[in-house]
Amino acid sequence: MGLREYRKKRDFDATTEPRGGGRARRIFVVQLHHASHRHYDFRLELDGVLKSWAIPKGPSLDPSVKRLAVEVEDHPVAYADFEGDIAQGNYGAGHVDTFDRGVWEPVGAPREALRDGELKFTLNGDILRGSWVLVRTRGYGSKPSWLLIKHRDAFAAAIDADAFVDPATDRPISRAKRRAVWKNLAVPSTQAKPREAVRAKASKSRTTARRSVTR
């Protein structure tokens, strides 16, 4: 897709969003975006741009949950470092926070997988980890829609993205607190625990996280 659509939608004299730039390095980033509709932006670096999807409810670590991911325009790699406010009257006006970031690794050939509508990959972030898949389903208005699904592995748990957001401020919790939640969720073996055990542990971790952000 390139950056033509991205640049067409923005007035760079009125917004601090990057026009371009950034070094390609197989990163991923998830941003919590308080725009006209609150959503999470999920971005994977490929071929020098960030392939991007808007996820209204945010990623879920529960393999039984399929989250709508609406494909949007490619963003520059430098956008992975963007946080702050997009002024009213501009495209995407609202506040942007970094929710999670790390590195990703495709399973197979990513360009062909995107073309064919089934991209499998692994993530290594503070929150999102392990094996995932994006599956294209149908059009969402004029934009292709996909489903983001967590595979069942040692990093699966019955927990959603909002568990890592401070309920008082609706801002992501700190990296230290994100890691504390995962420390409670971590499964030491390469095999996932039985579903009931993971659910119980995730429920306890959600309660711990909620309490910690209000202290």
Taking 50 as the pLDDT cut, the residues of the chain under it are: 188-215
- Position 32, amino acid: L
Among the listed residues 142, 147, 94, the one whose alpha carbon sits nearest the alpha carbon of residue 119: 147
Residues 6+ apart with CB under 8 A from 129: 123, 155, 182
User: How high is the pLDDT of residue 140?
Assistant: 57
User: How high is the pLDDT of residue 2?
Assistant: 77
Residue indicated by tokens 């969402």? 140
User: How high is the pLDDT of residue 22?
Assistant: 62
Count CB-CB contacts under 10 A for residue 28. 24
User: How high is the pLDDT of residue 178?
Assistant: 80
User: How high is the pLDDT of residue 210?
Assistant: 44
Kindly state the tokens that stand for 15.
């917004």
Q: Which run of H or of E encompasses 190? A: none
User: How high is the pLDDT of residue 120?
Assistant: 98
Show me where the domains of the chain are located. 4-152
User: How high is the pLDDT of residue 15?
Assistant: 80
